[in-house]
Amino acid sequence: MKKYTLEIIYDEITGELESLKEFITEKESVLAITASEEIMEKITKADLIESLLVPCPGECVGET
């Protein structure tokens, strides 16, 4: 996910643009799947690992 912030500093008296800054922050969402061995096996057998985790970088998958 990217967060875009635009900072505009405008002088109302002179009508001039003093500063224009753009900040881009990239933030990764972390997805964690913690399940019992039985549930992890079912997720794997149903071939859902890729569809669950590929859209979410920084994933953590494990068994409880």
Confidence of residue 21 (pLDDT cuts 50, 70, 90): very high
| pTM given for the model | 0.38
Within a 10 A sphere around the Cβ of 8, how many other Cβ atoms? 10
19 Cα distance to chain centroid: 29
Q: What would the pLDDT profile of 11-20 be if each residue is shown by its tens digit?
A: 999 999 999 9
- Judge contact between 61 and 33, C-beta under 8 A: yes
Cα dist from 28 to 6, 31, 51, 60, whole Å? 20, 10, 17, 13
